[in-house]
A and B are shown apart, each in its own frame.
Chain A
Amino acid sequence: MRVIALVRKESTLLLRDWHALFLLFVMPAVFILVMSLVLQNAYALHQGASVRYYLVNEDSGPVSAALVERLAGAAEFTRVSSDAPASALEEQVRSDHAQFLVHVPRGFGQAMAGAHPLALQMLAGPGVEPSVYKLFEAELHGALARVYLQNSIAGIAARIPGMDTSGFDLDAVDKLLHSESLYKVAGRNQVPSSVQQNVPAWLLFAMFFIAIPLSTTWVQERQQGTYARLRSMGLSAGSLLAGKLLPYIGVNLLQVVLMLAVGVFVVPLLGGDRLTLGGSLSALCLMALAVSFASVSYALLIANLVSTSEQATIFTGAANLLMAAVGGIMVPRFLMPPLMQTLSDYSPMSWGLDGMLDVFLRQGDAAMAAPEALRLFLFGLACLAAAALRIRLWKRK
């Protein structure tokens, strides 16, 4: 009965606080929308249009023309036409208006097969990420290898009269590689969109931010003397915690529904990739519940460790960013050095992320997500136990 009264009170208070509702529901929805659209092309080079290059071709031969044509066929990169001189274009790249400048020197094609070949020049802007640099370089290498091979075969054929070159099918190279992602939608393999890869991480990150409004509310009530009054009425630490835990888990789950709805319905309307919810609704529910329980319990612990609302806001914000950085939200774990990967094993956000990726990318069921969910539930229970202990030791000041 006491817990019901606490839950009802908390719900009424939340419904009457428009600022809190805005922070709790509109902000995460906007956050997930913006992150989905911003990250649309971060790693999805197949989507094109985001990496731009200038090309200055001072060579007029067929070899360089073939190279330019081959490069133009790469959908991942977009050539920006310009009549400006190479020096001006270099300046444009230096200021990151385009990412690359490819300079084909005069006589490049003719010198290719000779003793002193001329090197093609590739310049990258300072803001180009190493991974994008390597991708463009590989693309250029591929194009160069192809025209070099083509040029060499033509040279050999010229020296050997009557040589049949019809057996040299350069397109056959493309058939020597079959690549596909293990990600499946409706039983079919397809490369996951960056939205599919990134939204679960940012969803998790947003869910943990419930710690700010929750801990701030708790601190305010403590400062108002309400908790002293409730404690003097004989309410146990467990009742007080449950009175906050239950409504805020409800809020957190509503946040999840809203954010997923944004990913599924709103993002595609704005030109982004549609989020798919994975193959198992029970796995999704299990993970949402586990992350909610962990994040709300963690928030209750923070609320009982800090003295002021300011401390709650600053500590929670900083701790969430750290947990996210270590947990693989900002940088994929496989890109981290070994020490950080080991540290990452201890971040609740890392457990949450693994579970979320089980659901959203690996098409896992509840059994697959269960180990991560269990860890999160245990983490939540540990936080609640520590918070309850803190309440018992709490001294009225």
Chain B
Amino acid sequence: MIQIEGLSFRYPAAERAAINELSLQVRPGSLFGLLGPNGSGKTTLISILSGLLTPAAGVLRIDGRPMPAETRTVQRFSALVPQEHAFYPRLTVIENLRFFSGALAIPTAETEARLTEALSITGLDGFIAVRAEHLSGGLKRRLNLAIGLLNRPRLLFLDEPTVGMDPQSRRFILETIKRINAGGTTVVYTSHYMEEVEMLCDEIGVLDEGRLLARGTLTQLLGEGGSHRLGVSLNAAPTAEQRRALGALPAHEINGTEFSIEDCSEADLRRVVDALGAAGLGVSRVKYGYGNLEELFMRLTGRQLRD
């Protein structure tokens, strides 16, 4: 659906490029997560993909159509849901949807059906007469999403759609996005919440300083470098005597209540658990053979994900 080769973009007067020779492919029908800290270039990339910014260099094709030459065509079958509450607070939910429907030039005969559909998908049916300014944070996010669904997009750009939401609303939005994707819409989803991306996306790109640091399926990315790491959270920090009792175990590290072995074979795994029990150390959590995106990101960039 999206082919990017050597894409670069720099804001006027900026010291460094916001997007730096980036190459990437997004398969049709996929739910692609763009992960990166604030300022990594996620929003800039989404802006380029949705035709708001023109890249300085590189090749960009969406559904085989060259950008920016065919921006208008691409905009007809794509939609952007910005981070901001990009609607009018003094208009009601239905007035907002009706206005954006008019702005999209949706034929009058189809308008009502589209509005009903967008309201139904986002669960806003019961709030149509409420002014947007009086909606809760979660409902505002839903309205933001609903507007993005009005043109029944084949390609949907979601720029951090869950920022500042409570867990219930976030879950609703994530499930809605999953349903939209299951209906055949390709979704490009940016976030700096790795749990969301882990839960939602089948393909992930890790972005930092405008460069793509890693790309692949969740399994591929998390499998890399994380498969033999053992991490054990203990109930209490070991005493000196307990540390001595663990001396026979393979090379390990104890940091407070965190016990870890970087390269732990499956055979050693049982030994470690037994040795910890024999030393009288209670175990609260064990992680083995599977890293997480935060660790991956730290390894790739040396930076915290939530910079």
Among B80, B83, B85, B95, the residue within 8 A (CB) of A232 is B80
B215 to chain A, nearest CB (A): 25
Q: Which residues of A contact B51 (CB under 8 A)?
A: 231-232, 234
A389 to chain B, nearest CB (A): 15
Are A5's CB and B102's CB within 8 A? Answer: yes
In the complex, B72 has a CB within 8 A of chain A: yes
Among A4, A226, A232, A397, the residue within 8 A (CB) of B102 is A4
Q: Which of A216-250 contact B (CB under 8 A)?
A: 223-226, 228-235
Are A17's CB and B90's CB within 8 A? Answer: yes
Q: Mark A8-29, 1 if CB is under 8 A from B, else 0.
A: 1100110011000000000000
Bound complex: CA of A150 vs CA of B91, how far in Å? 81
In the complex, B23 has a CB within 8 A of chain A: no
Bound complex: CA of A88 vs CA of B47, how far in Å? 77
Bound complex: CA of A43 vs CA of B234, how far in Å? 92
In the complex, B226 has a CB within 8 A of chain A: no
Bound complex: CA of A6 vs CA of B102, how far in Å? 8
Q: Which residues of B contact A395 (CB under 8 A)?
A: 11-12, 53
Bound complex: CA of A235 vs CA of B104, how far in Å? 8
Are B90's CB and A13's CB within 8 A? Answer: yes
In the complex, B52 has a CB within 8 A of chain A: yes
Which residue of chain B has its CB nearest to the CB of A392?
Answer: B54
Interface size class of A (residues with CB under 8 A): 20 to 34
Bound complex: CA of A226 vs CA of B103, how far in Å? 12
Bound complex: CA of A2 vs CA of B88, how far in Å? 16
Q: Mark B249-278, 1 if CB is under 8 A from A, else 0.
A: 000000000000000000000000000000
Please classify the interface of chain B as helix (H, G, I), strand (E, B), loop, or mixed, using the class held by over half of its residues. loop
In the complex, A178 has a CB within 8 A of chain B: no
Among A4, A6, A9, A396, the residue within 8 A (CB) of B53 is A396
In the complex, B100 has a CB within 8 A of chain A: yes
Bound complex: CA of A13 vs CA of B102, how far in Å? 16
Bound complex: CA of A224 vs CA of B143, how far in Å? 14
Are A12's CB and B102's CB within 8 A? Answer: no
Q: Which residues of A contact B147 (CB under 8 A)?
A: 229
B143 to chain A, nearest CB (A): 12
Q: Which residues of B contact A397 (CB under 8 A)?
A: 11
Bound complex: CA of A324 vs CA of B47, how far in Å? 41
In the complex, A1 has a CB within 8 A of chain B: yes
Among B52, B76, B88, the residue within 8 A (CB) of A228 is B52
Q: Which residues of B contact A1 (CB under 8 A)?
A: 102, 105
Bound complex: CA of A225 vs CA of B84, how far in Å? 6
Q: Which residues of B contact A234 (CB under 8 A)?
A: 51, 71-72, 75-76
Q: Which residues of A contact B47 (CB under 8 A)?
A: 228, 396
Q: Which residues of A contact B101 (CB under 8 A)?
A: 5
In the complex, B79 has a CB within 8 A of chain A: yes
Q: Quick one: which of B43, B85, B99, B101 has the most chain A CB within 10 A?
A: B99
In the complex, B86 has a CB within 8 A of chain A: yes
Are B52's CB and A232's CB within 8 A? Answer: yes
B160 to chain A, nearest CB (A): 12
List 19 contacting pairs A-B, 8 Å CB cutoff, sorted by A: A4-B102, A5-B101, A5-B102, A5-B103, A6-B103, A9-B99, A12-B90, A12-B91, A16-B90, A224-B87, A226-B88, A229-B86, A231-B52, A232-B50, A232-B75, A234-B72, A395-B12, A396-B43, A396-B52
